[in-house]
Amino acid sequence: MATKKQDKKTISPLDKVNDKFFIGKYYYGVGRRKTAVAQVRVYCDLKDTVSESGIIVNGKKYTEYFHTDTQKDLFLEPIKVTGLTDKCAISVLVKGSGISSQADAAKLGIARALVKYDETLRPTLKANGLLTRDARKVERKKPGLKKARRSPQWSKR
């Protein structure tokens, strides 16, 4: 007896997070830093003005997710530079690495999504260095060494 396969709609993790908060057209951007990957959705065509509560990171308000002021400022930099602070709602799904790298990855993702929203924002974001990916990663450990470059301590005997 053959069983029928049911057609299941595949739902991404980003959809699960976003369905609770935002509905409508969005602009998508991906940001990366070290091993952190941020999937960003920017909703700029919402009719109501958006407060800071309209910024969600992994299902939490960004103020709850990012603890230090440095991380919060880094995360919000593309919105502040472009002057879209009260006009855009943002939803971010970020995975991997540490919190600081996640903030940097989200910053790049927001900047890329804003460029898709309005191409005229590109020179402003580019001038502030917000569209450049930080390519630094942890160097791999080499055989015969303690770490990537640290050699074993020499002993005379």
Neighbours of 69 (CB within 10 A): 8
C-alpha to C-alpha distance for 73 and 129, rounded to whole angstroms: 15
The neighbouring-strand residues paired with 69 are none
Which pLDDT tens digit goes with each residue over 11-46?
455 555 544 567 778 899 999 999 999 999 998 876
Q: Is domain 13-127 in CATH 3.30.230.10, yes or no? A: yes
Which pLDDT tens digit goes with each residue over 96-136?
999 999 999 999 999 999 999 999 999 999 999 999 999 99
Consecutive H or E run containing 81? helix 69-82
Q: Structure pTM?
A: 0.80
The neighbouring-strand residues paired with 37 are 32, 95
Neighbours of 97 (CB within 10 A): 18
Tokens of residue 107, six digits:
């910053």
Where are the chain's structural domains?
13-127
